[in-house]
């Protein structure tokens, strides 16, 4: 557990300002799958312009923000409900950075103890870290009673990471820019997913860097394309069979060149009855769209017994964005 001064201010550390009234606030925030991901050439800031369609899935991170005793002197601490050596709990964790940023912007002098329960695969291309940040922002905002409105939180979310605003919004949305400029998309029905997990994560910057190398090797300049009408029509109709062929991910080749074995995972999922399987975001999670929960069980079983994956998770979608649950 780390002890970080949120707003140190010499001589002020004992002056705790309490505006909220609850002693703890629990917030849930979802991970995501990209139904469509079109990637352009990186700009001067190194970020790649995107056109993407996010769908929030029922794999949910839970962040509990607890009020500290007065003698904690305005620190931000974070602990995991289940220890995971791959997840840092110091200032490099996006949830801690979210709390620190909110405290800095709003002038809150009080600290917070964050407790995080992880259900989204770590470094899996499903924005689990971003969901932690979204949940921490909302939980601290309630706990501290800052009065910051939703638009203000979305601004802070975009400063923390490209996928953080979507975890606040949830449901289904088109993302432009870095993926942080969002427009909600009309979607009917429920979509069933099976996620095939890899034993080790992939770094998002490494996948984007590989994407750039592959483009340079082929002498092409990538450009984003708009979301195809077939995809938005399938979502409007609530039709997973029509959605399947419209699923698309420009990072597929880059992720497969770093993890060639994922091609076999995709093939196994489709052979076992998935309507379509794709790399989720920057990978290495493979997301298999299935017609119903019976086929979900069959696909999960086939993947588990293939020896190709570290495990599977099943989830339906879309679900709401970050929300207080207690």
Among 6, 27, 50, 57, contact with ligand C5P (rule: CB under 6 A): 50
Q: Is 205 in the site for ligand C5P (CB under 6 A)?
A: yes
CA-nearest of 320, 8, 64, 19 to 173 is: 320
Helix or strand (DSSP H, E) at 172 = strand 172-176
Q: How far is the CB of 283 from ligand C5P (least distance, A)?
A: 13
Of the candidate residues 32, 48, 109, 210, the single one contacting ligand C5P (CB under 6 A): 48
Nearer to ligand C5P, 134 or 198 (CB): 134
Annotated catalytic residue: which of 113, 132, 163, 250?
163
Per CB under 6 A, contacts with ligand C5P among 105-164 are 161-163
* 109 is a catalytic site residue: no
Shortest Cβ 48–ligand C5P spacing (Å)? 4
Q: Does 321 bind ligand C5P (CB under 6 A)?
A: no
User: 75-80 and 112-117 as β-strands: parallel, antiparallel, unpaired?
Assistant: parallel
Run of H or E residues at 54: strand 50-66
Q: Which of 68, 65, 53, 52 is nearest to 14 (CA)?
A: 68
Cβ at position 161, least distance to ligand C5P in Å: 4
What DSSP letter does each residue of 124-139 carry, written as one string?
SSS-HHHHHHHHHHHH
- Cβ closest to ligand C5P, residue 25 vs residue 134: 134
Per CB under 6 A, the list member of 38, 62, 89, 204 interacting with ligand C5P is 204
Check if the beta carbon of residue 19 is closer than 8 Å to that of residue 144. yes
| Neighbouring-strand partners of residue 247 | none
Burial of 88 (0-12, 13-18, 19+ CB in 10 A): middle
Identify whether 271 is a catalytic site residue.
no
Number of residues that bind ligand C5P (CB under 6 A): 13
Least Å distance, CB 130 to ligand C5P, is: 6
Closest CA to 285 of 316, 308, 318, 317: 308
Q: Should residue 47 be labelled a site residue for ligand C5P when binding is judged by CB under 6 A?
A: yes
CA atoms within 13 A on the CB side of 219: 0
Kindly state the smallest distance separating residue 68's Cβ from ligand C5P, in Å: 28
Active-site amino acid positions: 32, 163
State the residues that interact with ligand C5P by CB under 6 A: 42, 46-48, 50, 161-163, 178-179, 204-205, 208
């Amino acid at each position: 557990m780390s002890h970080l001064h949120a707003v140190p201010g010499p001589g002020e550390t004992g002056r705790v300002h309490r505006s909220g009234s609850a002693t703890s606030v629990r917030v849930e925030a979802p991970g995501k799958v990209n139904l469509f991901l079109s990637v352009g050439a990186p700009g001067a800031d190194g970020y790649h312009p995107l056109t993407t369609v996010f769908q929030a899935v029922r794999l949910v991170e839970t962040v509990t923000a607890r009020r500290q005793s007065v003698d904690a002197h305005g620190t931000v601490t974070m602990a995991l409900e289940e220890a995971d050596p791959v997840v840092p709990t110091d200032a490099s964790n996006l949830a801690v950075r979210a709390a620190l940023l909110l405290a800095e912007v709003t002038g809150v002098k009080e600290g917070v103890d964050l407790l995080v329960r992880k259900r989204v695969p770590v470094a899996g291309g499903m924005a689990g870290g971003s969901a932690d940040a979204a949940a921490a922002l909302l939980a601290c905002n309630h706990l501290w009673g800052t009065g910051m409105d939703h638009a203000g939180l979305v601004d802070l979310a975009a400063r923390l990471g490209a996928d953080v605003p979507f975890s606040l919004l949830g449901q289904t949305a088109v993302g432009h820019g870095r993926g942080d400029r969002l427009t909600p998309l009309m979607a009917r029905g429920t979509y069933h997913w099976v996620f095939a997990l890899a034993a080790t994560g992939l770094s998002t910057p490494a996948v984007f860097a590989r994407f750039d190398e592959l483009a340079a090797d082929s002498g092409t300049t990538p450009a984003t394309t708009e979301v195809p009408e077939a995809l938005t029509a399938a979502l409007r109709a609530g039709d997973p069979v029509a959605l399947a062929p419209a699923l698309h991910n420009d990072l597929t080749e880059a992720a497969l060149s770093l993890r060639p074995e994922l091609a076999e995972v995709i093939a196994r999922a489709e052979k076992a009855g998935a309507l379509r399987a794709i790399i989720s975001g920057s990978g290495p999670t493979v997301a298999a769209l299935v017609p119903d929960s019976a086929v979900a069980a069959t696909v999960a079983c086939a993947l588990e017994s293939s020896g190709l994956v570290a495990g599977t998770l099943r989830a339906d979608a879309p679900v709401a964005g970050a929300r207080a649950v207690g």
